[in-house]
Amino acid sequence: MTTMTDASVREFKMPDVGEGLTEAEILKWYVQPGDTVTDGQVVCEVETAKAAVELPIPYDGVVRSLHFPEGTTVDVGTSIIAVDVTGGAGGAAPAEAEAPVPAEVPEEAKPQARQPVLVGYGVAVSSTKRRPRKGAEVPAQEVAAAVQHELNGHGGRAETNGHGGNGALTGLADQASPSPSPSPAAARPLAKPPVRKLAKDLGVDLTTVIPSGPDGVITREDVHAAVAPAAPEPVRTTPVAPVVPAPVTTHDGTRETRVPVRGVRKATATAMVGSAFTAPHVTEFVTVDVTRTLKLVEELKRDKTMEGLRVNPLLLIARALLVAIRRHPDVNASWDEANQEIVLKHYVNLGIAAATPRGLIVPNIKDAHEKTLPQLAAALGELVSTARDGRTSPAAMQGGTVTITNVGVFGVDTGTPILPPGESAILAIGSIRLQPWVHKGKVKPRQVTTLALSFDHRLVDGELGSKVLADVAAILEQPKRLITWA
């Protein structure tokens, strides 16, 4: 029975905040039951496979309940919070005013409330008593009692052939108590919508699956177990030695720690595996003297035009890569697998790999090719600070074309970076060290680094990749080429 108060409760469902994501983890609740909320107020923070996102509530009202605690991973489309949009004013409406209970119905025969098991599902409390049939002279309870009495009086059985004294009574019992049909709750197994879809895709009847979840809920593992072929009984033709079972693997909690892979880390792992085994990677290396570039960085730090901006070697390396792409635009492309086409990009969304507490993310600077050096410095500074605070939006991590990863900040000389999915090239910057270098015919200490360029060989052949990497190195060696080649 739905009261007026229940009709005023609005359920806010977990939205798809990342274009096609199927789940998100609730990191923190900002409200509690009884709190007043307004339209647009942030009520919780969730982490998707791409970023941490704050969710605003689209209602005005009072929080009725929070359906999940912090740390729970919730499927998209599942209700996470209930809000009373009337502000709780209608909560005192008596149930008798809406649907009075007939006096002849015993108190124990009243329908019991539905017990919540999963959000959107529930099971009704079973009852052996049936509602009186319309027009019946005798209540069903009395008929059942009479039948039981007659059964006990005849040695525990009743005549069913119509010739005994119990024929009329048997007919009355059959009329008043037909064969019970299974209740909807019993006929519908408990399972989340994604599990039901999985069962449908695999052709599994959920009524035949043995549940292992709490409160009899069917899990994904239960569905997979239902379709797994049973191991055939081995045919033994000759006696064999008894098989000693393998020792059960145990994990010492004091010596090992298991960390669930989810959110950003899970998405990164999936993307990197897909990229590594989809795009044919080629990596080339070059070691370059960047002494003049570091001197230019120090000059720019003192320039009033760059005052208040983040100026570092990464800024000039990013500018050098953009100039190299302008000189060789075919390197800026993507592969269309469905149409078997190369898609040339006339814009550069420059990705910057950033290590965060939640894992590696690659936000990108939109239309980086159009920005001046001060604008590029401002965009880099904002990108880094936002990523460090864990506030990078999903949109900022989509649509990248080429990427830079600076492994030198960890003291690493170089590496073979893996392409972000859908991108054509990624440039790795190694550590900048003072090393002996032949300069103007003499061995002198110079600031030296190693660059590594990985590219998709379907899009970029060896010649094109070599030219791009050589251009970046030439600019860093002689930064005046930023002007002459631009």
Residue 302, domain CATH? 3.30.559.10
Percent of the chain's residues with pLDDT above 90: 41
Residues 429 and 291 in one domain: yes
What's the mean pLDDT in 314-335?
96
Say yes or no to pLDDT of 423 above 50.
Answer: yes
The predicted-structure confidence for 354-408, as pLDDT tens digits, reads as follows 888 777 889 999 999 999 999 999 999 999 888 888 888 888 888 999 999 999 9
Residues 300 and 442 in one domain: yes
Residues 314 and 206 in one domain: no
pLDDT of residue 259: 74
The predicted-structure confidence for 268-280, as pLDDT tens digits, reads as follows 677 667 676 677 8
Q: Kindly state whether residue 123 falls inside one of the protein's structural domains.
A: no
Domain count, the chain: 4
Alpha carbon distance 405, 390 (integer Å): 18
pLDDT of residue 228: 66
The predicted-structure confidence for 83-92, as pLDDT tens digits, reads as follows 998 865 544 4
Residues 216 and 324 in one domain: no
pLDDT of residue 50: 63
Say yes or no to pLDDT of 160 above 50.
Answer: no
Q: Kindly state whether residue 131 falls inside one of the protein's structural domains.
A: no
Q: Which of 149, 224, 439, 457 is catalytic?
A: 457
Q: Kindly state whether residue 239 falls inside one of the protein's structural domains.
A: no
Structural domain that includes position 152: 140-176
Residues 326 and 450 in one domain: yes
The predicted-structure confidence for 122-150, as pLDDT tens digits, reads as follows 444 444 444 444 444 445 444 444 444 44
The predicted-structure confidence for 89-104, as pLDDT tens digits, reads as follows 544 433 333 444 444 4
Residues 205 and 299 in one domain: no
Residues 66 and 163 in one domain: no
Q: Kindly state whether residue 326 falls inside one of the protein's structural domains.
A: yes
Most confident region among 7-16, 259-268, 475-484 by mean pLDDT: 475-484
Q: Kindly state whether residue 132 falls inside one of the protein's structural domains.
A: no
Q: From 269, 267, 250, select the one nearest 392 (Cα to Cα).
A: 267
Residues 162 and 217 in one domain: no
pLDDT of residue 449: 97
Residues 324 and 473 in one domain: yes
pLDDT of residue 473: 98
pLDDT of residue 247: 56
The rounded mean pLDDT for the chain is: 77
Q: Kindly state whether residue 243 falls inside one of the protein's structural domains.
A: no
Q: Kindly state whether residue 104 falls inside one of the protein's structural domains.
A: no
Q: Kindly state whether residue 432 falls inside one of the protein's structural domains.
A: yes
Answer yes or no: are the C-beta atoms of 355 and 372 closer than 8 Å: no
Residues 404 and 380 in one domain: yes
Percent of the chain's residues with pLDDT above 70: 68
Alpha carbon distance 151, 147 (integer Å): 6
Alpha carbon distance 185, 180 (integer Å): 14
The predicted-structure confidence for 276-308, as pLDDT tens digits, reads as follows 667 788 999 999 999 999 999 999 999 999 999
Say yes or no to pLDDT of 33 above 70.
Answer: yes
Residue 203, domain CATH? 4.10.320.10
pLDDT of residue 397: 87
HSE-CB at 149 with a 13 A cutoff on CA atoms is 7
pLDDT confidence tier of residue 175, bands split at 50, 70 and 90: very low
Residue 17, domain CATH? 2.40.50.100
Say yes or no to pLDDT of 480 above 50.
Answer: yes
149 is catalytic: no
Last residue of one domain, picked from the residues 88, 112, 132 = 88
Residues 145 and 204 in one domain: no
Residues 220 and 299 in one domain: no
